[in-house]
Chains A and B, each alone.
Chain A
């Protein structure tokens, strides 16, 4: 298997706070990898470092063998990494349709974009019914669907998902995870950050556990699901 993304020795600081301390992580093409850990462990920071919203103080990030550590955020998307951020961050004053169209901002293949739009409406029929609605007036679950669909509009090879289940009713969470599995089957590689460790472990191939900015454990998701330490710390 080929490594799609590889992080070496990555450290990120916010002023005096060391949010990430020399973490190493890789993702193979076609995998779902999940990153779990307590609040403030540095999960979102890891995703932000990959999509270049924060500057690392040390370490390297390779994507398809290329060093992208210093690339600008808007170029990262164009190279095939899409980030659906924590808190969804839909453009509240724009319609659902405009949000999706802007998701494809880096592309110029009109027909392909059109086809992908229809594809999102097929995956998320609720978005299709609300395409002219302002995104700020969508429900939390619909906004999450929009955030994922918008990320997909860039036709990513690697999808970074930050807590897609946050604050959603159990029924909606299941819907969203069904979509994540479906995307995986279609060949999208996924790095999933989750609070819901149980669901994340059931969905992913491999797991990294982050504690206070350091990776403490990694392994096969199915195995860690039955691991005593993991059960106690994260699965309650």
Chain B
């Protein structure tokens, strides 16, 4: 492989890896605080893509209850992305209230919550299909304003073309990771959140209200999941309609297992690893990208069952 192609693939990998990373961080956050995998996270990814699509002026297709509807106004992509992510965060809070909290307050087995989160995912997908149909939505061309579609990072003789959207994806994801790392690691609220994740009962003895932090966690998780969906959707279209998030949900699950369940730096590293690995899959095999990603995952877990950065199971008590 010549160096130009290598660099190009590397930048592609960084871009898609960074979006896997923020999606996976949202996924793993809920696990870290509740010890439950939130299967509805993939559905929130889809919601984020739709919210941002409509807010940036996109119209509903010809199927579904809301056929041909569009907002009477439109936001710039940056504002639409921000509002779409906020709406996704609020949707995640609603999912928590309906599918998680009632079971938690009854002290139900976490396995039941797993099933109810799966149920929430199916409801969202079906309602979306009912409302906006199952067609493919593509963000309009001029969505990034006057920015060129791609820029050349190389020279005129040896061009290294990279799509603008990939730079945007990488930039936005990197900023989110930075804010999150600072917020969780270095602020009073972040430390309280970590306390709830380690031991909610003890946290409540310190004056921390665990329920408030569970709500906050779902918001942040949904915000990141929805933003990831919007970024991917704007880059490659909302393929497979309401089922858009399902494949990403599965891959995200792979990423957080790879990184170590509940481990935030692990989710970031895991996302980058999977994204880069996919980018270097030869074009002849690109149809098998997902299978290859999971094969890598499987081999890595054989070597490190606790995940890349997960704590080993043997702990000092």
Contact = CB atoms under 8 A, between A and B. Distances in A.
Nearest to B209: A74
A168 interface: no
A72 B205 contact: no
Contacts of B316: 136-137
Nearest to A73: B204
A93 B262 CA distance: 13
B196 to A, nearest CB: 10
Contact of A102 (B208, B209, B210): B208
Nearest to A103: B206
Interface in B181-195: 188, 191-192, 194-195
B206 A150 contact: yes
Nearest to B207: A106
A82 to B, nearest CB: 8
Interface residues of A, number: 26
Given A89-B199, A89-B202, A94 B207 contact: no
B195 A72 contact: no
Nearest to A79: B207
Interface in A89-145: 89, 91-94, 98, 101-103, 105-106, 136-137
Contacts of A75: 207
Interface residues of B, number: 18
B198 A93 contact: yes
A102 B193 CA distance: 11
B31 to A, nearest CB: 16
B201 interface: yes
B207 A91 contact: no
B192 A102 contact: yes
A150 B195 CA distance: 13
A78 interface: yes
Contacts of A78: 207
Contacts of B210: 74
B259 to A, nearest CB: 17
Contacts of A73: 201, 204-205
Interface in A41-93: 51, 53, 72-75, 77-78, 82-83, 85, 89, 91-93
A105 B206 contact: yes
Contacts of B191: 94, 98, 101-102
B199 A83 contact: no
Contact of B208 (A82, A83, A105): A105
A154 interface: yes
Given A53-B201, A136-B316, A94 B194 contact: yes
A51, A73, A93, A94 pick with most chain B CB within 10 angstroms:
A73
B206 A102 contact: yes
Contact of A91 (B188, B198, B209): B198
Nearest to A81: B205
B202 A91 contact: yes
Contacts of A51: 205
Contacts of A89: 199, 201-202, 205
A62 B195 CA distance: 29
Contact of B195 (A77, A83, A91, A154): A91
B201 A77 contact: no
Q: Which among B195, B204, B208 has the greatest number of chain A C-beta atoms within 10 A?
A: B204
Given A85-B205, A101-B188, 12 more contacts: A53-B205, A74-B204, A78-B207, A82-B205, A89-B199, A91-B195, A91-B199, A91-B202, A103-B206, A105-B192, A106-B207, A154-B207
11 contacts: A53-B201, A74-B207, A77-B205, A83-B205, A91-B202, A92-B198, A93-B194, A94-B195, A101-B191, A105-B192, A137-B316
